[in-house]
Amino acid sequence: MSDLIVREVRGSDFAAARERADDWMGRPVGLVMHRLFFEQLGPHGVWLESDDEPVGFLLGLISVAEPDLAYVHFHIVDPARRGEGLGTRLYHEFGARAHAAGATRVRALAPLWNAPSIAFHERLGFAGDVRPDYVGPGEDRRVFERALPFENR
Ligand SMILES: CC(C)(COP(=O)(O)OP(=O)(O)OC[C@H]1O[C@@H](n2cnc3c(N)ncnc32)[C@H](O)[C@@H]1OP(=O)(O)O)[C@@H](O)C(=O)NCCC(=O)NCCS
């Protein structure tokens, strides 16, 4: 990982993310990955590149309604690069920046079908309950939260 570039998300990253996200996720990600998160909220997010190729990214923000809360909206790692700690790197980078900006907790959602995402969040020290219909009818989510900062940066 010596060549890894870690930077903010930029509006110009949208096309490259769109090209890869459905394949990386294994299903259509749809408008969850809205251009808004690149063009207007990009500087809150984290982009990982290796050999001029994207290898993962995180779309997130610091809540306007609750300024102590950082919120991860979407995050993904290239399947060819999973298990190397890149997902952890995305969260640690986001968490460090959000903490420096005043956030003391971080929230992320996981659908119940996404066992790897649930395991990932639990490994990173998140805890959370299942909330029925959280993002719409039949769309239950685990609503995970933990304190910032992360340990072991
Ligand atoms: C979830 C995801 C980001 C993890 O990325 P990653 O780079 O493989 O994660 P890391 O290597 O940092 O793993 C950290 C820990 O998470 C856990 N973990 C990661 N993937 C896991 C899996 N598939 N099953 C079980 N545990 C897993 C492991 O405990 C790991 O710790 P360890 O290395 O000490 O065992 C990646 O699987 C992914 O992109 N999934 C598809 C996108 C997605 O579902 N995003 C969430 C919804 S927005």
Which residues 6+ apart lie within 8 Å of 123 measured at CB?
none
Residue with the smallest CA separation from ligand 1 atom 15 is 120
Residue with the smallest CA separation from ligand 1 atom 22 is 116
Which residues 6+ apart lie within 8 Å of 64 measured at CB?
none
H-helix segments, 2-152: 14-25, 36-39, 86-100, 115-123
What pLDDT shows up at residue 2? 59
What pLDDT shows up at residue 43? 95
Domains of the chain: 5-147 (3.40.630.30)
What CA–CA distance (Å, rounded) separates 37 from 128? 25
Q: Is residue 92 within 8 Å of residue 109, measured between CB atoms?
A: no
What pLDDT shows up at residue 152? 67
H-helix segments, 8-152: 14-25, 36-39, 86-100, 115-123
Distance 135 CA to ligand 1 centre (A): 23
What pLDDT shows up at residue 81? 97
**3-class secondary-structure state, position 67:** coil
Query: Going residue by residue through the chain (153 aa), what tens digit of pLDDT does each one get?
Result: 559 999 999 999 999 999 999 999 999 999 999 999 999 999 999 999 999 999 999 999 999 999 999 999 999 999 999 999 999 999 999 999 999 999 999 999 999 999 999 999 999 999 999 999 999 999 999 999 999 999 965
Q: Which residues line ligand 1 (CB under 6 A)?
A: 25, 74-77, 82-88, 114, 116-117, 119-120, 123
What pLDDT shows up at residue 136? 97
What pLDDT shows up at residue 36? 97
Distance 55 CA to ligand 1 centre (A): 14
Residue with the smallest CA separation from ligand 1 atom 31 is 123
Cα angle 27, 21, 51; round to 5: 140
Residue with the smallest CA separation from ligand 1 atom 28 is 120
- pTM higher than the cut 0.95: yes
The token pair that represents 77 in the structure block:
């790692």
What pLDDT shows up at residue 120? 98
